[in-house]
Amino acid sequence: MKLRVMARLIQIQRVLVRHGLDDFVRETHLYRPLRFVFLASPWTWLERRKEAPRAERLRLALEELGPIFIKLGQALSTRRDLLPPDIAMELAKLQDRVPPFDNETARAIIEKSLGRPVTESFATFEAQPLAAASIAQVHAATLKDGTDVVIKVLRPGMKEIISRDLEVMHELARLAKTHSTEARRLRVDEIVDEYEKTILDELDLMREAANASQLKRNFEGSSLLHVPTVYWDLCRIDVMVMERIRGVTISDMDTLRAKGADIAMLAANGVKIFFTQVFRHNFFHADMHPGNIFVLIDDPANPRYAAIDFGIVGTLDIRDQHYLAENFLAVFDRDYRRVAELHVQSGWVPPDTRVDEMESAIRTVLEPIFDRPLKDISFGTILLRLFDIARRFDMRIQPQLILLQKTLLNIEGLGRDLYPELDIWQTAAPILREWMSDRISPRAQIKHLRRNLPDMLTAMHALPSLVKVAVQQAEDGRFAFGVRSEELAALREEIRLSERRRNGTLVSVALGLGSLLWLGFEMEPRIIGTLLLIASGVMLWRVRRTGRALNRA
C-alpha cells in the first residue's frame, strides 16, 4: 500500500472517531492497532461529538473529508439499497459548497490557460466569484462584444487530491469485500469504478463544454429546456466560458409564484425533460439538483427550464435502455408479470427466479400508488420496499444505472416541491409510448437501414470473393471452421486426463485379476505370464489408440 494512501486512511479514521463514528471505524477493519491508539488519545475523547444523531455526524464527517467524499455521499444518498434510511436522508442534505480560493489564483489560472491577460479576452472580469464548489468556482465576465458570460475555473491541485482519494476508495472497497459478504453482493468495487469515471470526467472542463454543446443540440428548437451557449475559443481543460443564465432558481418558489409562473406546467415539463433525455436522446443531465436548475420567466404562462453544470451526464447501453422502457411501460399498464419477466430476461435477477413470486411481490408494492398524485406517494418508502424485493430475489446491483436513479430522484424531488398534485404516471406514459412506437415505425426502420447501408454494401462487395475462396478450399479438402477456443482446448485436455485415468484403472484391474488367478487357481506360472502379457498388450494398444485420436482432435 502506498504511503500517501496509508496516511489518508489514518486521517479518515481520525475524522470518523472525532465525530463519534466508532462503528464505522470497526466495520472498515483499518489498522486495528492504530484505531485503539486513536481511541485512547485524550484529544479524541475531548473532541468526540456524539450529541447529534449518527446520520448527521456522518454527513459532517464527509463534509470535513473533502470534495470526493461529499460527492460520493450525494451519489449514495439515492441508493436506499446500500444505506439505512436515516443515513440516506441525511446524506441528501450534503451541499457541494466550500469557501472560494483567492481571486489572484483564479486570474492566474485563466491567463495561463488562455495564454494572454484577462483584459485581452474579456471586457470586464469580476474578481469576486458568483459561486464556489468543491471542484471549481465561477466568475462573471463580459466579452468584448458586451455578451454576459461566466468563467468556470478548476480548483488548483484538484487532480492530485482526487487521484489520492480514489486510491483510498479502491482500498476501502477491497477491504469491504474482504470482510463483508454484503459488500461482495453489492459489488462495491464496481460502484467505486463507476464513480471514478464520473468524478474524473468532472476534472476536464473541455468534456463539460462538449456535454453542454451536445445537450443544446438535442433540445434545439424545443420550448422545454434552454442550454447556455459555449464559447469554444475560450475553453480549456481547466477553464470554460459559456453564456450567463439570468433566471430564477427552481427552489425559489416565492419568486416564481410572485411572477405568475405556471407551476403545474413546470412540474410536468420536468418529467418530460427527464424521459426525453433518457429515452429519445439517450444523453441526460445527471446532476439536476436545485442549484443547477433555473427558470426563465420572460413569458410566465410558458416558463422554461435552463440548466447549468454539465460535468456529469449519463448514457445507457441500448439493451438497458430497452429493458428500462419496457419496465416503465409494463408498470404503467400494471402488467407486473411482464416486469418480473423483464428482470429475468435482462439478467438483473438469477435465471431460476420464480416469476410468479416476483410478480406478486412487485404488485404488492406498486398497486397502492396508482392514480395518485405525488403528494400522496412516499417514494422513499416505495424505494425501500423495492430494494427489499431486490434482496429477496438476489437482484444484482447495476452500477451503470446509479446516475439514472440519482437523476430520477432529483426529478421526483423537484416535482414534489413544485406541484405536489402532479400525476407522474399520466405525464410520463405518453412520452414513452410515443418513443416505443417511433422505434418500430417504418420511418425509423428506413432510417436504420440508411445508416447501415454503407456497411451492408461493403459486405456485399466482399461476399463473392469470400464465397469463391471457401468453395476452392472445400474442393481441395482444406475447408474448416475456426472453432478452436480456450474452452475447447480445456475440454480436450480434460478428456485426455479422463482417458488416462480410465486406462490406468483398466491396467490395474488386469494386473489384479492376473494376480488373483495366480493365487486362486495356482496356475502354471508360464500360463499366468502369458495371460498378463496379453492383457498388458491390449491395454497399451488401447491407450495408444486413444492418444492418437485425441491428438487428431
- Among residues 252, 287, 356, 423, the one annotated as catalytic is 287
Taking alpha carbons only, the member of 12, 31, 9, 34 closest to residue 21 is 12
Can you read off the three cell numbers belonging to residue 101?
Answer: 480560493
Contacts of residue 450, defined as CB under 8 A and 6 or more positions apart, other chains included, come to: none
Q: Write a three-state SS string for 244-288.
A: CCCCEECCCHHHHHHCCCCHHHHHHHHHHHHHHHHHHHCCEECCC
417 is annotated as an active-site residue: no
Q: Residue 442 burial (CB < 10 Å; 0-12/13-18/19+)?
A: exposed
Residue reference for cell 464527517: 61
Determine the distance from the C-alpha atom of residue 235 to the mean position of all C-alpha atoms in its chain, rounded to a whole number: 28
Give the number of other CB atoms < 10 A from CB of residue 231: 17
What span, in angstroms and rounded, lies between the C-alpha atoms of 165 and 457? 50
User: How far is C-alpha 109 from the geometric centre of its chain's CA atoms?
Assistant: 32
Decide: helix, strand or coil at residue 243.
strand
**H helical segments located in 41-132:** 42-47, 54-65, 67-76, 85-91, 103-114, 118-121
Residue pair 271/430 in contact by the 8 Å Cβ criterion: no
β-pair type (225-226, 304-307): parallel
Other CB atoms within a 10 A radius of the CB of residue 310 amount to 27
Q: DSSP code of 240? A: E
Integer Cα distance of 80 and 386 in angstroms: 9
In sign, the C-alpha dihedral spanning 254, 260, 263, 268 is negative
Question: What whole-number distance in Å separates Cα of residue 307 and Cα of residue 301?
Answer: 19
Distance of CA 84 to the CA centre of its chain: 21
Three-state DSSP at 116 gives coil
Q: Is 204 left (phi over 0), alpha (psi -120 to 50) or beta?
A: beta
Residue 422 has what DSSP assignment? -
User: Contact 165/8 with Cβ under 8 angstroms?
Assistant: yes
Is the backbone of residue 332 left (phi > 0), alpha (psi -120 to 50) or beta?
A: alpha
> What distance in Å separates the CA atoms of residue 67 and residue 49, rounded to the nearest whole number?
22
Q: Which residues pair with 243 in a beta bridge?
A: 149
Measured distance CA(360)–CA(348) in Å, rounded:
17
407551476: which residue's cell? 263
Length of the chain counted residue by residue: 553
Q: How far apart are CA 134 and CA 98, in angstroms?
A: 6
Annotated active-site positions, please?
287
